[in-house]
Amino acid sequence: MSLPRILNEVNMKSQIETLSAKIETFEIKNNQDLESFRIEFLGTKGHVKELYAALKDIPNQDKKEIGQLINSFRNLAEEKFNKFKENLESVSISNDNFDCSRPGEINEVGSHHPISLVRKEIVDIFSRIGFSVSDGPEIEDDWHNFTALNFPPEHPARDMQDTFFVRKGENEMALRTHTSSVQVRVMESSEPPIRTISPGRVYRNEAISARAHCFFHQIEGLYIDKGVTFGDLKQTLLYFAKEMFGEQTQIRLRPSYFPFTEPSAEVDVSCSICSAKGCNVCKHSGWLEILGCGMVDPNVLEAAGIDSSEFTGFAFGMGVERITQLKYKVNDLRLYSENDIRFLRQFRASW
């Protein structure tokens, strides 16, 4: 019920007195009555709001007095509402139908997914040495996913056997095969020094097995500045391995090839599942490959508009599933995506 237009302070005072009397006599017996009271007096279209709105019609010399009356009215309404709300709650708790001897219901505590736990830990480790976090689209164009990363037109990664291609309008796009595409976007939009990691989901057309999947998660890192060396890369990765797997962890670098880095290397860590003694996970070698790395190829820097004669940099990329496998001794990658509650419950206390 809307208030009539207030012409002067006398009408306002009279209206407040009438409404205050109504509050005193308003009967509240249940939650429905309580809600009706709230809507009528304290709701967005209730009397309190209308009184404040009508205050603008009062002459300036009387606004202070009338404003104080409205405040008192609002306090009166709130006090009655809160008092009866408490009364109704206490009545509900002490209801005779409540069986105090009945066992309580156990609320199951959920957990974060192991991939999320490890991803967060990796991000935290690199954040401590100055790496920011970058993100980008999962559906990429050819330039960001391949060409800008120095993939030649005949590279096998462009083949349908390795990449999921999709059509977006007139353009053929791809589900990104690595989060290096995010690094390209960062280089295009930023000036060195650049120090960033790019976590995200990637897709490759591979057979699903205990050691591989058609989608998985990567975290790739990029550091570009003047005077960056391969020694900086090695020390960064050794720091990461010891922070993630323990101070006793060792790493080794093996020469490799990636189109976007030169020189390139594969990085192995001593197997934490068998303490480097040899098991079926590390193929009885005592080592397990966790990431690829290398110095950013000058062609990649130039494609992103960075002067390769002035700046150098390193890049690395790792699969989060592989790191999780080592950390939690998981021997089948398919467990991460099968939603088996028996598997997921094991990580309930890990966050």
Residue 172 domain flag: no
User: What is the identity of the amino acid at 146?
Assistant: F
Q: Is 48 exposed, middle or buried (0-12, 13-18, 19+ CB in 10 A)?
A: buried
Element at 324 (helix H, strand E): helix 320-328
Residues 31 and 125 in one domain: no
Same domain, 22 and 66: yes
Q: What is the domain range of residue 27? A: 9-91
* Residues 84 and 201 both lie in one domain: no
In this structure, are 215 and 284 located in the same domain?
yes
Q: Are residues 119 and 265 in the same domain?
A: yes
Are residues 82 and 119 both part of a single domain? no
Q: Is residue 127 part of a domain?
A: yes
State the number of CA atoms in the 13 A half-sphere of 178 facing the CB. 25
Instruction: Report the relative pairing of strands 132-133 and 194-203 from DSSP bridges.
Output: parallel
Q: Is residue 206 part of a domain?
A: yes
Give the β-pairing of 139-140 and 171-175: antiparallel
293 class by beta-carbon count within 10 Å (0-12 exposed, 13-18 middle, 19+ buried): buried
Residues 328 and 261 in one domain: yes
* CATH number of the CATH domain containing 301: 3.30.930.10
**Torsion on CA atoms 141, 143, 148, 153, rounded to nearest 10:** 110
Number of domains in the chain: 2
- 156: preceding bond cis by omega (within 30 degrees): no
Angle separating helix axes 230-245 and 320-328, nearest 10 degrees: 40
Please return the burial class of 188, using the count of CB atoms within 10 Å of its CB with bins 0-12, 13-18 and 19+.
Answer: middle
Phi, psi of 156 (to 5 degrees): -60, -20
Q: For residues 263 and 51, give the distance between their C-alpha atoms in angstroms, rounded to a whole number.
A: 76
Cis peptide upstream of residue 103 (ω within 30 degrees of 0): no
Question: Can you say whether residue 284 is alpha, beta or left, with left for phi > 0 and alpha for psi between -120 and 50 degrees?
Answer: left
Domain assignment present for 243:
yes
256 vs 264: CA distance, rounded Å: 5
Digits of tens for pLDDT over the chain (351 positions)? Answer: 445 444 456 788 888 888 888 888 888 888 888 888 888 888 888 888 888 888 887 888 888 888 888 888 889 989 988 888 888 777 655 555 666 777 877 777 778 889 999 999 999 999 999 999 999 999 999 899 999 999 888 888 777 568 888 887 778 898 998 999 999 999 999 999 999 999 999 998 888 877 778 888 999 999 999 999 999 999 999 999 999 988 989 999 999 999 999 999 999 998 877 777 777 767 778 888 889 999 999 999 999 999 999 999 999 999 998 888 888 888 788 888 888 888 888 887 655
Q: In Å, what is the CA distance from 289 to each residue of 208, 266, 295?
A: 19, 7, 19
